[in-house]
Structure 1
Amino acid sequence: MIDVQRLRVLRAVADHGSFSKAATALRLTPSAVSQHVAVLERSLGAQVVARSTRGVTLTQAGQIMVGAAESVAAELAQAKQQVERLSTGRVQFTVATFTSGGRQLLPGALPRFMAAHPGTLFHVREGEPEVALPLVRQGAVDLALAYRFDGPLPVGPGPSPGLHWTALLEDPLHVVVPEGHRLADRDSLDLAELASEPWVLGCLKTEAYLRRYAERAGFAPEVRGTTTDYFFARSLVAAGMGITLVPSVALAPTVPGLHAVPIEPPTPTRHIGVATLGRRRDHPHLTTFIQALREQARQQRDAGAAPAPPPPFEAMLQS
């Protein structure tokens, strides 16, 4: 019989990359963590982690067991919700979301959801995709409103059991410049025209994305500052510190004295969608809330917040 606590320890080791960091997170000693892993390996007859001076990494057997650990955690979380429902008569529904997407999409979607499921205990947890998506895998939240730039979803460390992804919006990035800037009145611009400009950005991932696109345009951007808030970054632009790159849905609320100019193709774009556990995607609360988010996203597109995306896609994301 595999001990659930040892699976929990292994998952923490996978998330943190070392016994000592996992021990801190679990409030155990590194020795206790090592012993839990060793006992698990003996019970399986296989090595689950590879140890080195740089930390530990999962073996193939370890990846399988961490996937099982996340499935067990998700099932236990759902069972707990069902028991709570028996005692309270109310359903708890939890959504994780990144800040700008939550601000633009959740307030409009929530009334539609609550009208269909009155009495539901609704909770929101703020978090970037690399934090929110593992919460979905673990059953800690019912769904995540998330985004990705070009490439796969940032599912976080460790293996990724099947997540179901429903596309909502394509969210192109705009260059934001101060009033009176030489490009402020343009209908669109080529990123290469900004080669000599200083930048201040509202997200570390946006900086990496800008550098990738700037390299294609033949220049290396001078980044003078990176914040964790697009509004703060735009405020610095208004103060004359430089220019910035902001997704469409993060352009509200407006900052006086600034202009947002679209970028000519190839346009840097965020892809916004919903991630759920594949095996739960037909749950009535999930389907209602996803439909409410789709309706709100459609309103955003119709209002000009973002151009219409290609036909919606839904795909299983496997490790």
Structure 2
Amino acid sequence: MIDVQRLRVLRAVAEHGSFNKAAAALLLTPSAVSQHVAVLERSLGAQVVARSTRGVTLTQAGRIMVQAAESVTAELAHAQQQVDRLGTGHTQLTVATFTSGGRLLLPGALARLTAAHPDTVLHVREGEPEASLPLVRQGAVDLALAYHFDGPLPGQVSQNSSMQWTALLKDPLRVVLPEGHRLADRAALDITELAAEPWVLGCLKTEAYLRRYAERAGFEPEIRGTTTDYFFARSLVAAGMGISLIPSIALAPHVPGVHTVPIKEPAPTRHIGVATISRRRDHPRLATLIKALQEQAAAVESASISGPAQRP
């Protein structure tokens, strides 16, 4: 019989890419981690990791077992919730969300959920996708409202994953300029037209994204400021520090002294969606919440919020 603890160790090895880092995360010694993996391999009759001087990678058998580990962990967490419900008569639901998406989409969706299932006890945790998606895999949260930029879906959300991604909304990024800027009256801008501009950005991931786009356009952006808050970044733009690149849904509330211009296609875009454990997606409360989020996202698109920071 496969030991659940050894599956937990293998999952940590897969997450951290080495026995040493997995050992530190699990508060074990590297030799104990290595022994757990070796015993798991003997019990399976198959190699689950490939060892090299650069670390360890999963074999096909290892990937299968990590997926099983994620499912087992999530199911045990769900079972604990069911046991807890026996004593309270309530069902608990935990949702993780990033800030701007949660502010726009989550309140209305949660209101619909509680109207349909008034016995639900809700918990909300704020976090970026790199923090919230592992919590879904571990069963610590039931649903994560998350995003990814152009390219593949967030880490480990794939056909071979225990998680399922449901797309909700495309969120194009806009250029935010100070009022009176020479480009403020343009209907749309090409990224190459911004090569000489200084930038202030409200997110480190946005900075990395801008650098990739700028590299394709042949220039190195001058970054004069970075924050973790899009509202603050727009305030710095209004103060004349530079221009910014802001997701559309983060352009409210309006900041006086700024003007927003779309970027010409192909425009940089965030893709917003929800991640859930595949086998739990049809749970009545989760299904209700996902449908409510889809309706909220459709309402956002129909309201055409793509330019909320234009001159009032």
TM-score (norm 1): 0.89
Measure, in 2, the Cα distance between the counterparts of 1:29 and 1:162: 28
Change over 3 Å in CA distance of 1:54–1:227 after alignment to 2: farther
- Aligned-residue offset at 1:82: 1.2
Alignment of 1:185-224 (within 5 A): 185-224=185-224
Alignment of 1:12-31 (within 5 A): 12-31=12-31
In structure 1, what is the equivalent of residue 82 of structure 2?
A: 82
Alignment of 1:251-270 (within 5 A): 251-270=251-270
Report the more deviating stretch, 51-60 or 101-110.
51-60
Letter paired with 1:131 = A
- Aligned-residue offset at 1:196: 0.9
Alignment of 1:145-160 (within 5 A): 145-155=145-155, 160=160
Confirm or deny: 8 A CA contact 1:192 1:217 kept in the other structure. yes
- Aligned-residue offset at 1:69: 0.7
Confirm or deny: 8 A CA contact 1:66 1:159 kept in the other structure. no
Alignment of 1:26-45 (within 5 A): 26-45=26-45
For 1:74-117, what per-residue CA distance to the aligned partner results, in whole angstroms no more than 9, with x for missing partners? Answer: 11111111111122111011111111101111112111111111
Measure, in 2, the Cα distance between the counterparts of 1:51 and 1:206: 35
In structure 2, what is the equivalent of residue 226 of structure 1?
A: 226
Letter paired with 2:58 = L
Measure, in 2, the Cα distance between the counterparts of 1:41 and 1:204: 40
Question: Does 2:132 correspond to 1:132?
Answer: yes
In structure 2, what is the equivalent of residue 98 of structure 1?
A: 98
Measure, in 2, the Cα distance between the counterparts of 1:18 and 1:157: 21
In structure 2, what is the equivalent of residue 9 of structure 1?
A: 9
Report the more deviating stretch, 163-172 or 221-230.
221-230
- Aligned-residue offset at 1:160: 4.9
- Aligned-residue offset at 1:207: 2.3
- Aligned-residue offset at 1:180: 2.0
- Aligned-residue offset at 1:120: 0.9
Confirm or deny: 8 A CA contact 2:248 2:305 kept in the other structure. yes
Report the more deviating stretch, 122-131 or 231-240.
231-240
Measure, in 1, the Cα distance between the counterparts of 2:41 and 2:162: 25
Measure, in 2, the Cα distance between the counterparts of 1:138 and 1:20: 21
Letter paired with 1:155 = G
Root-mean-square deviation over aligned CA pairs: 2.2
Return 5+ residue gaps in structure 2 as ranges: 308-312
Alignment of 1:55-74 (within 5 A): 55-74=55-74
Confirm or deny: 8 A CA contact 2:202 2:246 kept in the other structure. yes
Confirm or deny: 8 A CA contact 2:93 2:142 kept in the other structure. yes
Confirm or deny: 8 A CA contact 1:14 1:157 kept in the other structure. no
Letter paired with 1:128 = E
Confirm or deny: 8 A CA contact 2:176 2:258 kept in the other structure. yes
Report the more deviating stretch, 102-111 or 216-225.
216-225
Measure, in 1, the Cα distance between the counterparts of 2:11 and 2:72: 11
For 1:56-80, what per-residue CA distance to the aligned partner results, in whole angstroms no more than 9, with x for missing partners? Answer: 2222222111111111111111111
Measure, in 1, the Cα distance between the counterparts of 2:149 and 2:55: 29
Number of positions where the alignment pairs a residue of Structure 1 with one of Structure 2: 307
Alignment of 1:157-168 (within 5 A): 160-168=160-168
Change over 3 Å in CA distance of 1:159–1:264 after alignment to 2: closer
Confirm or deny: 8 A CA contact 2:93 2:123 kept in the other structure. yes
- Aligned-residue offset at 1:271: 1.4
Alignment of 1:285-304 (within 5 A): 285-304=285-304
In structure 1, what is the equivalent of residue 119 of structure 2?
A: 119
- Aligned-residue offset at 1:240: 2.6
For 1:109-166, what per-residue CA distance to the aligned partner results, in whole angstroms no more than 9, with x for missing partners? Answer: 1111111111211011222222222322232221111112212212259995143332
Confirm or deny: 8 A CA contact 1:148 1:272 kept in the other structure. yes
In structure 2, what is the equivalent of residue 311 of structure 1?
A: none
Change over 3 Å in CA distance of 1:118–1:158 after alignment to 2: closer
TM-score (norm 2): 0.90
- Aligned-residue offset at 1:194: 0.7
Return 5+ residue gaps in structure 1 as ranges: 308-319
In structure 2, what is the equivalent of residue 316 of structure 1?
A: none
Confirm or deny: 8 A CA contact 2:197 2:243 kept in the other structure. yes
Look up the SS of the partner of 2:25 in the other structure.
Answer: helix
For 1:253-312, what per-residue CA distance to the aligned partner results, in whole angstroms no more than 9, with x for missing partners? Answer: 2222111111122211111112222222221101111121122223322332249xxxxx
Change over 3 Å in CA distance of 1:7–1:158 after alignment to 2: farther
Measure, in 2, the Cα distance between the counterparts of 1:21 and 1:232: 36
Look up the SS of the partner of 1:305 in the other structure.
Answer: coil
Look up the SS of the partner of 2:264 in the other structure.
Answer: coil
